[in-house]
Amino acid sequence: MVAKTKPDRIFFLHIGKTGGTAMKLVLEKHAKHVRRCGHIIKLTDVPIGTKFFFILRDPLTRFVSAFYSRQREGLPRYYSPRNEMETGIFETFSTANELACALGNPESEHHSLALRTMRVIGHFNGYFHWMISKEYFLSRLDDVLMCCFTESLEEDFEKLRPLLGLPEDVCLPTDEYFAHRMPRGCDTNLSEEAQNVLREYYRGDFEFVALCKEMFPR
The whole-number pLDDT of residue 175 equals 63
Which of these, 61, 43, 53, lies nearest to 123 by C-alpha position? 61
Residue spans of the domains in the chain: they are 10-215
> Is the separation of the CB atoms in 38 and 122 below 8 Å?
no
Which of these, 201, 213, 211, 207, lies nearest to 96 by C-alpha position? 201
Per-residue pLDDT of 85-117, as tens digits, reads 899 999 999 999 999 999 999 999 999 999 999
Determine how many CB atoms are found less than 10 A away from the CB of residue 155: 12
> Is the separation of the CB atoms in 127 and 208 below 8 Å?
yes
Phi, psi angles (nearest 5°) of residue 71:
-60, -40
CATH fold group of domain 10-215:
Rossmann fold (3.40.50)
The number of residues making up the chain comes to: 218
For residues 156 and 148, give the distance between their C-alpha atoms in angstroms, rounded to a whole number.
Answer: 6
- pLDDT surpasses 80 at 190: yes
- pLDDT surpasses 80 at 74: no
Phi, psi angles (nearest 5°) of residue 16:
-60, 145
Extended beta strands in the chain, E state: 10-13, 34-36, 51-56, 144-149
